[in-house]
Amino acid sequence: MLSARAVTRWVRDGQRRRDVLRGIDLAVDRGQLVVILGPSGSGKTTLLGVLGGMLLPSSGEVLLDGEAVSRLRDQHRAEIRRRKVGYLFQDLALIPGMSAVENVVLPLLPDGVPSREAERLALAALARLAVEDRAAASVDGLSGGERQRVALARALVRSPPLLLLDEPTAHLDADRAAALLDDLADLATQGTALVVASHDPRVIEDPRAHRRFRLDQGLLRDA
């Protein structure tokens, strides 16, 4: 489902070039739950951005379902990303003042999905994560666990074959984190490919992860 080949990403830090990713090779199949571990600042968020086609690699290539998205123009890459990638941001990126269902509907708007169908799909995504009873509530008043599930429902509303998650258990208590990990394991059994970036031991040590890698100084190695 996902393949990264010799991917590098560097940025300018003043007059110096800083290598954030160095020769990353990674392959993720459908139904696999892959964990990328590493401390804050190790480049996990950058790696997810490159894998999901939101950032371009400085060199190397990324293939989604066999298509080299790193070679596509911005508009085409965005279309592929909408169809094939769901992304859970570390800060969740929910829109304040909007309800849970309104937030979940957002990924459907660029494709012109009729409003009734969009709402039906959004409610189904919320129900899938057992938070449909909060559909009409403003996201401002939701608990941390509810916000996390709403953000995950938004990532899932288009049923993408690939899901990228950035520190999904951040700020969750033990029960909420365990419930979220159950959700992710269920998604993997249904054929979704998942890549989870985390430094949370609860994620790293979960026995349901199929593979674990450590990102350190831009290099990705088996953990």
The pLDDT tens digits of the residues spanning 167-209 come to 998 878 898 889 889 989 999 999 999 999 999 999 999 999 9
pTM (two decimals) = 0.91
Residue 71 CA to residue 38 CA, distance in Å, equals: 28
Q: What's the pLDDT at 71? A: 81
Extract the runs of DSSP E, i.e. beta strands, from the chain: 2-13, 16-28, 33-37, 59-64, 67-68, 85-88, 162-166, 193-198, 211-216, 219-222
Q: What's the pLDDT at 73? A: 86
Percent of the chain clearing pLDDT 90 (strictly above)? 74
- Read off the pLDDT band of 63 (50, 70, 90): very high
Beta bridge partners of 194: 33, 163
Residue 211, pLDDT > 90, answer yes
The pLDDT tens digits of the residues spanning 139-174 come to 999 998 899 899 999 999 999 999 999 999 887 889
Residue 51 CA to residue 56 CA, distance in Å, equals: 9
- Under DSSP, is residue 99 helix (H, G, I), strand (E, B) or coil? strand
Q: What's the pLDDT at 137? A: 98
Residue 72 CA to residue 197 CA, distance in Å, equals: 25
Each domain of the chain, given as residue ranges in start order, spans: 2-222
Residue 97 CA to residue 81 CA, distance in Å, equals: 26
**Tokens of residue 102, six digits:** 């309104």
The b/e string for 57-72 (b: 16+ C-beta within 10 A; e otherwise) is: beebebbbeeeebbeb
**If you average pLDDT over every residue of the chain, what do you get?**
93
Residue 94 CA to residue 103 CA, distance in Å, equals: 7
- Read off the pLDDT band of 61 (50, 70, 90): very high
- Under DSSP, is residue 98 helix (H, G, I), strand (E, B) or coil? coil
Percent of the chain clearing pLDDT 70 (strictly above)? 100
Place of tokens 């998205």: 69
Residue 17, pLDDT > 90, answer no
Residue 215 CA to residue 195 CA, distance in Å, equals: 13
DSSP 114: -
Q: Which CATH superfamily is domain 2-222 in?
A: P-loop containing nucleotide triphosphate hydrolases (3.40.50.300)
Residue 21, pLDDT > 90, answer yes
Q: In what order do the strands lie in the sheet with 59-64?
A: 16-28, 2-13, 59-64, 67-68
Amino acid at 30: R
Higher pLDDT: 71 or 7? It is 7
- Read off the pLDDT band of 126 (50, 70, 90): very high
